[in-house]
Chain A
Amino acid sequence: DAKTTQPTSMDCAEGRAANLPCNHSTISGNEYVYWYRQIHSQGPQYIIHGLKNNETNEMASLIITEDRKSSTLILPHATLRDTAVYYCIVRVAGVNNAGNMLTFGGGTRLMVKP
């Protein structure tokens, strides 16, 4: 799987949009971009994923650049409960064999402040 680069930490004011960047310059054509978050010591929570089109769900939006070398996760109205470590992961999806794991890097520690 391609490697990702994320800022170590970010702050965001409560109620404002949180924009979390991720670089994945070596991404392959069949690799998806996934975002997970881990709140304190809980299990990671799936947020969103995409291949090349922008995606939106009830939690967040995912903006992927046209060349697919980077992406941004957007939390439109951050709350204190969004404070967590956010992981950007690229992987081939739909493959029913070895190598189908998620490879977690260091992630971005997002601190939402009142």
Chain B
Amino acid sequence: NAGVMQNPRHLVRRRGQEARLRCSPMKGHSHVYWYRQLPEEGLKFMVYLQKENIIDESGMPKERFSAEFPKEGPSILRIQQVVRGDSAAYFCASSPLPYEQYFGPGTRLTVT
């Protein structure tokens, strides 16, 4: 059973561009979570989704950030008009039920 997959692993964007981060949960997992880790800081929760539904987005910045988990395909975290402060590692986790979460390797976003 493959683990949680994230792509791309590294993403470089210029200020003002859009960033799309993809997360494919483990097979059979219908719960997806996104976390962000700024340089030298701990992980911070962003959003919790189930298929086609956003359950908790209390950690998402109010503007420019959005997330979806469609019926088919991976979960997408989208950041519009990126700024330097968005540079971070973005981790996705999945779980079959709301118990333990299994994390992917992360996407490292660098905004130049």
Contact = CB atoms under 8 A, between A and B. Distances in A.
A and B assemble together:
yes
A104 to B, nearest CB: 4
A98 B106 contact: no
A99 B45 CA distance: 10
B53 to A, nearest CB: 11
A58 to B, nearest CB: 15
A44 B44 CA distance: 12
Given A101-B33, A105-B42, A106-B42, A43 B103 contact: yes
Is chain B's interface secondary structure helix, strand, loop, or mixed overall?
A: strand
A49 B58 CA distance: 25
Most B-side CB within 10 Å, residue of A49, A95, A96, A105: A96
A43 B98 contact: no
Interface size bucket, B side?
A: 20 to 34
Contacts of B58: 98
B50 to A, nearest CB: 8
B98 A44 contact: no
A38 B108 CA distance: 15
A103 B48 contact: no
A43 B43 CA distance: 10
A49 B98 contact: no
A25 interface: no
B105 A43 contact: yes
B91 interface: yes
Given A43-B91, A93-B98, A104-B42, A98 B56 contact: yes
A102 interface: yes
Contacts of A96: 50, 55, 97-98
Instruction: Please provide the 9 A-B residue pairs with the shortest distance between their CB atoms, ordered closest to farther.
Output: A43-B103, A101-B45, A98-B56, A104-B43, A104-B42, A44-B103, A46-B100, A100-B98, A93-B99
26 contacts: A34-B100, A43-B105, A44-B43, A44-B91, A44-B93, A44-B103, A45-B103, A46-B100, A46-B101, A46-B103, A94-B99, A96-B55, A96-B98, A97-B55, A98-B55, A98-B58, A100-B31, A101-B33, A101-B48, A101-B59, A102-B43, A102-B101, A104-B35, A104-B44, A105-B42, A107-B42
